[in-house]
């Protein structure tokens, strides 16, 4: 054996197997460390923001949403961080003074600037969606509605956000986006669990949206979505003029017409079972007929004396008259010849459905108890009601008997809920801190935050990652043992050789 070969035998590090094993171990450790770094990288807490203005018939609300920047396609990640109620009435009330509509948004938009970090302002989208109040104004006076929209557009463009448009949304959109909101917030969209139907009651329109069990017989009422890899076939309908403020006008106009026919006193006395005994309020006839929801009627007097007598069952009889259920060209209808499949599944009822039922403390009773309680409430003298609720606005306070009865009649006689499925309706305002309503769904849709297919998440699922790491560690450990054994064997051989 020459000298060089002898050195090789003596020094086991010069054996190819050992060199190979060592390189393998080092490589293994590098791979393991790299994977754990990528997998467990602390996620930077960066948020993105979006602003939606809900320009309703009665008022405008500004909603600010926030979501983690890197998780925008995951369900349930967007949450509402702030709301601001614009002072005054809805933008459609500025028909005679369109500039006022834009100006009215100022305070809330300044607040939005303070709530959202300045470095995000320029990439924060702002959307304004106007609902039934503006739909009615457009029917009455299209130029005025365009001027109001131009005014809010001009105002919103003066802020440092990314202005994305101000438009009147359709009743179908209002219903469908309300449905998306409640199901997104309940995280129903990427699971095989059932979805929640959506019931929205506004001042000028009301929407019903759900997944029916039967075929949808009218094209206008059907909407299809593909969200997170699931197909949804929705029934939706929006009844313009059947929000609670317009319904009150409809109902009052019918009472006024009969009172007018029966008496010629001036002012005309309109006796109303939907208002408390002792309630007496002077209204102008114009304030009842100032809407395209009704045909003008020739009334001899300009003023009425609106007198309450608080009788719940007579109130319900009078409200039934605003629903036309005499004709239906489909297998089933709700009212006014509108197709509606049987209600199916659980429902979330929000907006004025909640405000009214919550005030009346009627959010969790059976239908029979709800009727009994409402009957008692309606017959309570107005004087007592004012004493009991000194902090509630008198306009709201005077109308809760009517509104509660309207809600019951709409749900039971209009949408065909029964005492059996009454408790499938949850009256709710918020879900996990965010308001139920169309605004969140609208933003999610316009920012493409709900993908059609389920998004990929981590490099590998958590379970797979853990299994992989355990096996890889064991594998490297075995290699290490083998290397040790081999090292010892070679050293011994070398020592023997020397001896
Ligand atoms: N605290 C409350 N009590 C009773 N009603 C309320 C309360 N807050 C809001 N509302 C009513 O909720 C309705 C909201 O409707 P809105 O969204 O403005 O109209 P629309 O959706 O038809 O365009 C209005 O009738 C308003 O009077
Ligand atoms: Ca609304």
Backbone angles phi, psi at 47, to 5 degrees: -115, 150
Higher pLDDT, 449 or 5: 449
- Local confidence band at 456 (pLDDT 50, 70, 90 cut-offs): low
Nearest atom (ligand 1) to Cα of 58: 18
pLDDT at 31 over 70: yes
Mean pLDDT calculated for residue range 299-306: 89
CB-based burial label for 308 (10 Å; 0-12, 13-18, 19+) = buried
- Could you tell me the distance, in angstroms and rounded to a whole number, from the CA of residue 483 to the centre of ligand 1? 77
Nearest atom (ligand 1) to Cα of 204: 22
Dmax (CA) of the chain: 135
Residue 221's pLDDT is what? 98
CA distance 220 to 237: 8
Nearest atom (ligand 1) to Cα of 200: 21
Residue 360 belongs to a domain: no
Residue 275, H or E segment: none
* Residue 195 and residue 269 in one domain: no
Beta-carbon contacts of 143 under 8 Å, excluding residues fewer than 6 positions away, are: none
Question: DSSP per residue over 152-189, as a string?
Answer: HHHHHTTSSSEEEEEEEPPHHHHHHHHHHHHHHHTT-T
Residue 286 belongs to a domain: yes
pLDDT at 262 over 60: yes
Q: What angle do CA 304, 398, 291 make, to 5 degrees?
A: 55
Which of 57, 391, 430 to mutate for ligand 1's pocket (most ligand atoms within 8 Å of CB)?
A: 57
Q: Is 345 left (phi over 0), alpha (psi -120 to 50) or beta?
A: left
- Could you tell me the distance, in angstroms and rounded to a whole number, from the CA of residue 222 to the centre of ligand 1? 26
Range of the structural domain that residue 299 is part of:
244-321+367-418
- Which pTM does this prediction carry? 0.85
The protein residue with its alpha carbon nearest to ligand 1, atom 24, reads 203
Query: How many C-beta neighbours within 10 Å does residue 287 have?
Result: 12
- Ligand 1 site residues, Cβ closer than 6 angstroms: 56-59, 90, 131-133, 202-205, 243-245, 351-352, 355-356, 359, 396
Residue 499's pLDDT is what? 45
Taking a C-beta distance cutoff of 8 angstroms, is the pair 141, 177 a contact?
Answer: no
* Residue 107 and residue 166 in one domain: yes
* Residue 26 and residue 96 in one domain: no
Higher pLDDT, 23 or 198: 198
CA distance 424 to 214: 19
CATH number, domain of 72, equals 3.30.420.40
As for how many domains the chain has, the answer is 3
Question: DSSP per residue over 184-198, as a string?
Answer: HHTT-TTSSSPP-EE
pLDDT digits (tens, 9 = 90+) for 217-234: 999 999 999 999 899 999
Residue 455's pLDDT is what? 66
Residue 194 belongs to a domain: yes
Question: Of the ranges 83-97, 244-258, 404-418, 453-467, which one carries the lowest mean pLDDT score?
Answer: 453-467
CA distance 479 to 486: 10
Residue 128's pLDDT is what? 98
Residue 3 belongs to a domain: no
Catalytic residue among 3, 66, 72, 174: 174
* Residue 81 and residue 228 in one domain: yes
* Residue 272 and residue 180 in one domain: no
Tracing tokens 């059609």 back to the chain, one arrives at 452
- Could you tell me the distance, in angstroms and rounded to a whole number, from the CA of residue 427 to the centre of ligand 1? 15
DSSP 311: -
Residue 281, H or E segment: strand 280-284
Question: Of the ranges 65-79, 233-247, 366-380, 402-416, which one carries the lowest mean pLDDT score?
Answer: 65-79
CATH number, domain of 314, equals 3.30.420.150
The protein residue with its alpha carbon nearest to ligand 1, atom 8, reads 355
Mean pLDDT calculated for residue range 122-133: 98
Residue 350 belongs to a domain: no
Mean pLDDT calculated for residue range 186-215: 95
- Could you tell me the distance, in angstroms and rounded to a whole number, from the CA of residue 467 to the centre of ligand 2? 50
Closest ligand to 352 CA?
1
Residue 430's pLDDT is what? 98
Mean pLDDT calculated for residue range 300-312: 94
The protein residue with its alpha carbon nearest to ligand 1, atom 20, reads 202
CA nearest neighbour of 316 among 272, 258, 361 = 272
> Strand, helix or coil at 332?
coil
Residue 472's pLDDT is what? 75
Taking a C-beta distance cutoff of 8 angstroms, is the pair 305, 282 a contact?
Answer: yes
Determine what percent of the chain is predicted with pLDDT higher than 70: 94
Residue 351 belongs to a domain: no
Closest ligand to 356 CA?
1
Residue 265's pLDDT is what? 79
Residue 244's pLDDT is what? 98
- Local confidence band at 7 (pLDDT 50, 70, 90 cut-offs): low
Higher pLDDT, 76 or 442: 442
Residue 6 belongs to a domain: no
pLDDT at 30 over 90: no
Cα–chain center distance at 64: 13
Torsion over CA: 80, 81, 86, 91 (sign)? negative
pLDDT at 91 over 80: yes
- Could you tell me the distance, in angstroms and rounded to a whole number, from the CA of residue 88 to the centre of ligand 1? 13
List 199's β-bridge partners, or say none.
208, 349
Helices (H), 380-461: 382-388, 394-409, 438-446
Residue 330 belongs to a domain: no
* Residue 130 and residue 24 in one domain: no
pLDDT at 496 over 80: no
Question: Of the ranges 68-72, 150-154, 166-170, 261-265, which one carries the lowest mean pLDDT score?
Answer: 261-265
Whole-number Cα distances in Å, 231 to 186, 190, 343, 417, 454: 18, 11, 20, 26, 12
* Residue 101 and residue 65 in one domain: yes
- Local confidence band at 9 (pLDDT 50, 70, 90 cut-offs): low
Taking a C-beta distance cutoff of 8 angstroms, is the pair 354, 365 a contact?
Answer: no
Helices (H), 11-141: 16-40, 98-104, 106-115, 132-140
* Residue 145 and residue 203 in one domain: yes
pLDDT digits (tens, 9 = 90+) for 336-363: 999 999 999 999 999 999 999 999 999 9
Residue 484's pLDDT is what? 79
Residue 481's pLDDT is what? 85
> How much is the mean pLDDT over the chain?
92
Nearest atom (ligand 1) to Cα of 359: 3
Residue 351's pLDDT is what? 98
* Residue 395 and residue 445 in one domain: no
* Residue 82 and residue 191 in one domain: yes
6 catalytically annotated: no
Give, rounded to a whole angstrom, the gap between the first and last alpha carbons of the chain.
15
pLDDT at 465 over 90: no
The protein residue with its alpha carbon nearest to ligand 1, atom 14, reads 202
CA distance 248 to 181: 28
Taking a C-beta distance cutoff of 8 angstroms, is the pair 88, 103 a contact?
Answer: no
Nearest atom (ligand 1) to Cα of 356: 4
pLDDT digits (tens, 9 = 90+) for 175-193: 999 999 999 999 999 887 8
Residue 495's pLDDT is what? 74
* Residue 37 and residue 140 in one domain: no
Taking a C-beta distance cutoff of 8 angstroms, is the pair 336, 303 a contact?
Answer: no
Tokens of 84: 């601001």
- Could you tell me the distance, in angstroms and rounded to a whole number, from the CA of residue 171 to the centre of ligand 1? 16
* Residue 225 and residue 280 in one domain: no
CA distance 135 to 145: 8
């Amino acid at each position: 054996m020459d000298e060089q070969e002898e050195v090789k035998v003596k020094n086991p590090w010069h054996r190819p197997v050992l060199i190979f094993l060592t390189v393998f171990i080092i490589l293994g450790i590098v791979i393991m460390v790299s994977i754990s770094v990528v997998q467990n990288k602390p996620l930077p807490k960066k948020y993105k923001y979006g602003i939606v203005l809900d320009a309703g018939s009665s008022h405008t609300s500004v909603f600010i949403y926030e979501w983690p920047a890197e998780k925008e396609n995951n369900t349930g990640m967007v949450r509402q961080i702030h709301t601001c109620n614009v002072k005054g009435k809805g933008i459609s009330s500025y028909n005679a003074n369109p500039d006022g509509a834009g100006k009215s948004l100022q305070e809330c938009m300044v607040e939005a600037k303070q709530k959202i970090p300045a470095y995000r302002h320029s990439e924060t989208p702002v959307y304004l969606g106007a609902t039934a109040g503006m739909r009615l104004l457009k029917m009455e006076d299209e130029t005025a509605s365009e001027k109001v929209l131009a005014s809010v557009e001009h105002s919103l463009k003066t802020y440092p956000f990314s202005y994305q448009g101000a438009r009147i949304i359709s009743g179908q959109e209002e219903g469908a986006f309300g449905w998306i909101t409640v199901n997104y917030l309940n995280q129903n969209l990427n699971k095989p669990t059932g979805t929640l139907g959506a019931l929205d009651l506004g001042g000028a329109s009301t929407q019903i949206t759900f997944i029916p069990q039967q075929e949808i017989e009218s094209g206008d009422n059907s909407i299809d979505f593909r969200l997170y890899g699931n197909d949804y076939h929705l029934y939706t309908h929006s009844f313009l003029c059947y929000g609670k403020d317009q319904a009150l006008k409809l109902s009052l106009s019918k009472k006024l017409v009969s009172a007018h026919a029966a008496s010629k006193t001036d002012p005309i006395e309109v006796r109303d079972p939907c208002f408390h005994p002792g309630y007496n309020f002077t209204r102008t006839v114009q304030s009842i007929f100032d809407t395209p929801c009704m045909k003008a009627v020739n009334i001899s007097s300009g003023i009425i004396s609106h007198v309450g007598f608080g009788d719940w069952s007579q109130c319900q009889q009078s409200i039934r008259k605003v629903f036309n259920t005499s004709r239906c060209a489909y297998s089933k209808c709700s009212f006014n010849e509108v197709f509606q499949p049987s209600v199916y599944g659980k429902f979330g009822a929000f907006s004025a459905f909640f405000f009214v039922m919550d005030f009346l403390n009627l959010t969790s009773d059976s239908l029979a108890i709800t009727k009994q309680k409402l009957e008692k409430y309606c017959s309570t003298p107005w004087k007592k009601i004012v004493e009991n609720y000194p902090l509630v606005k008198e306009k709201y306070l005077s109308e809760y008997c009517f509104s509660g009865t309207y809600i019951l009649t709409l749900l039971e006689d209009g949408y065909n809920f029964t005492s059996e499925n009454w408790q499938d309706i949850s009256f709710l305002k918020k879900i996990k801190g965010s308001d139920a309503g169309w605004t969140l769904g609208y933003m999610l849709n316009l920012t493409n935050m709900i993908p059609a297919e389920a998004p990929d998440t981590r490099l590998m699922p958590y379970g797979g990652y853990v299994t992989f790491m355990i096996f890889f560690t064991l594998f490297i450990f075995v290699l290490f043992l083998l290397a040790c054994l081999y090292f010892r064997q070679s050293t011994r051989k070398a020592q023997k050789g020397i001896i």
